[in-house]
Homo-oligomer: A and B are copies of this chain.
Amino acid sequence: MIEKKLDIEVLSIWDDAKQMLRKAEKEGIETAWDRLMQQTPHCKFGETGVCCRLCTMGPCRISKKAPRGVCGADADVIVARNFGRFIAGGSAGHSDHGRDCIEALHAVAHGETEDYTIKDEDKLFRIAAEVGIETTGRETLDVAKDLAADFFENYGTTKGKSSFISRVPEKRQKIWADLGITPRGVDREIAEMMHRTHMGCDNDAANTMLHATRTCLADGWSGSMIATEISDILFGTPSPRSSQVNLGVIREDQVNILVHGHNPIVSEKILEAVQEPELIALAKESGAAGINLAGLCCTGNELMMRQGIPMAGNHLMTELAIVTGAVELIVVDYQCIMPSLVQIGSCFHTKMVTTADKAKFTGAEHVKFEMQNGMEQARKVVRMAIERYGRRDSARVEIPCDPVDIVTGFSNESIIRALGGSVDPLIEAIKAGKIRGVVGIVGCNNPKYKHDHCNVNLAKELIKKDILVIATGCVTTAAGKAGLLVPESISMAGPGLQEICGALGIPPVVHMGSCVDNARILQLCGLLAGELGVDISDLPVAASSPEWYSEKAAAIGTYAVASGIDCHLGHPPNITGSELVTNLALTGLKDLVGASFLIEPDPFKAADLLDERINSKRLGLGLEQ
């Protein structure tokens, strides 16, 4: 398959990645970078968003010679429709994950499972009370029943608003109401986005883009937020703990199982199973020293945040983890799991197991996880992995480096606890300019860009400027590998951050979880704005997704902006074929929602741009720059 040779040195900033890329090349294993080369140059119509396939009068492509599709849609309408569907895909992913979490809570509450329980009862009662459920003197499971029922309604038509709308500052709620973008129900907004983008519905690009913001807000303030809160209730609210990252967490002498995907419901059971003495004994009988569980992507983040399970790698490391030759089994739930993992696994002894009916992979073994059989299925998967260990070809094993230490587990609850019970010390530090601002760096990798170059360097530049960085998703691993997720990394930060983080004993880059956990950042912004009596758009905060690739990242960026948070992207979505839509994203949204996107591939320039935005926000609040 590989026709042209890759220049491996420029593909990643990491030694573990480069070593595995060289191994892959030597062994003739195709990776995402090879396929990117095959797919380059990309179709310009697709890249600029002006190709339309939404009916069979086409497909149509907009050019100077053909400025309208068969129906009469111009570039603006086509770009807006395509972007609308793009973020609908992203919002659906996060939010359907949230629905699965509600189903788990519902099953626990109704006694339909013994495999899952409520781990954080305090949080259950606190969240239930927050959304208006009577909690006084009630049984835990009764409260859980009501909370599940309330959350389900966030997806329907009749409730008409998010359970968490009170987390949104009033000024922001008014902006949304005036624009008609207050999210009603998650599924409703997604379905309406699909309806609007059918031929002959919404043919006003700005109107379509407004509904895109509404759809994404439903994800951010309902779907994602519900996923995070229920995951905490069922599996424990994270608190600071140590862990490790990079391919070095794969253990040569053990049965290695990698969990991949996004939802902790499967991986938490796998974790329990690998700790069972019978299964450990079975592994030892097979000649292994034990069973080693490590994470990939956001399922990895979920397990790391709550349980300190180490992380093997982020998006572009998922294929390379298999290339070590030491992975017996990858068990996945859904989202961001490259279909190529099946092929790469088949080059080794690595088994791929799928668990969700909505995410089967041709060539993988399907072990259906349900609420009622989670533990049983988890044990089955672990036994499969142990069985595979005997097939490992030790001559092909190559684990490229030692793991790097990190600290994880910074939920809002643990942050507030660390601050002494309120966000006031954080606000004081911001007012004093010791923390000049906060930037959440989130999201993915993209083989179009040197792997983790932007993720790492943007974080480094920002902390130098006394800007606290929050990391989630695949940026976590990048920051961790760069040594930024330990308290000692304050040495790389500016004097203000050194003082504050030093006093608190926290790193200047704070890991807040998986990509659905960006909802934690929204909540924190709501809390800060509430304390200060301002809107979120007044806060010296920003978001960034330097190396994003996925529809979910576009949805997250859009809900950030619609929530009043400026959002930097390393590259634009496929919208540049419409000047109207592009201008709306870069400037027009500022007038509407008080925030906008900024595009900059260079992390050093991006840091300056974000610094400028934070400065202007500080100025607006009457604070020193």
Partner among B211, B339, B358 whose Cβ is within 8 Å of the Cβ of A195: B358
Contact status B549-A56, CB under 8 Å: yes
Q: Which residues of B contact A201 (CB under 8 A)?
A: 93, 334-335, 337, 358-359
Q: Tell which of A149-157, A237-245, A397-405, A582-590 binds the partner.
A: A149-157
- Give the docked Cα–Cα distance between A361 and B72 (Å): 11
Interface residues of A in 92-113 (CB under 8 A from B): 92-93, 95-97, 99, 102
Q: Which residues of B contact A172 (CB under 8 A)?
A: none
Q: Which residues of B contact A207 (CB under 8 A)?
A: 357, 360
- Give the docked Cα–Cα distance between A97 and B200 (Å): 14
Interface residues of A in 57-77 (CB under 8 A from B): 57-61, 65-74, 76-77
**Distance of A69 from chain B, by nearest CB (Å):** 7
Interface residue? A51 (CB, 8 A): yes
Q: Which residues of B contact A340 (CB under 8 A)?
A: 68, 71-72
- Give the docked Cα–Cα distance between A286 and B82 (Å): 45
Q: Which residues of B contact A195 (CB under 8 A)?
A: 89, 92-93, 95-97, 334-335, 358
Q: Which residues of B contact A532 (CB under 8 A)?
A: none
Contact status B574-A56, CB under 8 Å: yes
Question: Taking A56-B574, A156-B152 as contacts, is the C-beta distance between A336 and B199 under 8 angstroms?
Answer: yes
Partner among B153, B200, B338 whose Cβ is within 8 Å of the Cβ of A71: B338
- Give the docked Cα–Cα distance between A598 and B142 (Å): 53
The copy count of this chain in the complex is: 2
**Distance of A177 from chain B, by nearest CB (Å):** 14
- Give the docked Cα–Cα distance between A70 and B30 (Å): 10
Question: Taking A188-B187, A551-B55 as contacts, is the C-beta distance between A92 and B198 under 8 angstroms?
Answer: yes
Interface residue? A341 (CB, 8 A): yes
Interface residues of A in 259-286 (CB under 8 A from B): 261
Interface residue? A28 (CB, 8 A): no
- Give the docked Cα–Cα distance between A337 and B88 (Å): 22
Contact status A157-B156, CB under 8 Å: yes
Interface residue? A548 (CB, 8 A): yes
Q: Which residues of B contact A152 (CB under 8 A)?
A: 156-158
- Give the docked Cα–Cα distance between A335 and B574 (Å): 25
Contact status A77-B32, CB under 8 Å: no
- Give the docked Cα–Cα distance between A45 and B39 (Å): 13
Contact status A187-B156, CB under 8 Å: yes
Q: Which residues of B contact A198 (CB under 8 A)?
A: 89-90, 92-93, 335, 550-552
Contact status A186-B191, CB under 8 Å: yes
Q: Which residues of B contact A66 (CB under 8 A)?
A: 35, 38-39
- Give the docked Cα–Cα distance between A341 and B96 (Å): 38
Q: Which residues of B contact A550 (CB under 8 A)?
A: 55-56, 198-199
Contact status B192-A191, CB under 8 Å: no
Interface residue? A446 (CB, 8 A): yes
Contact status B203-A59, CB under 8 Å: no
**Distance of A502 from chain B, by nearest CB (Å):** 38
**Distance of A155 from chain B, by nearest CB (Å):** 5
Q: 1/0 per residue A325-340: CB within 8 Å of B?
A: 0000000001111111
Interface residue? A233 (CB, 8 A): no
Q: List 16 A-B contacts (CB under 8 A).
A: A1-B67, A30-B68, A32-B72, A39-B70, A51-B53, A74-B339, A92-B191, A93-B201, A152-B156, A155-B188, A156-B158, A190-B191, A196-B359, A198-B551, A200-B338, A207-B360
Known contacts A32-B71, A59-B574, A199-B549; 9 further A-B pairs (Cβ under 8 A) = A38-B66, A46-B51, A46-B59, A56-B549, A57-B448, A92-B191, A96-B191, A200-B261, A204-B360
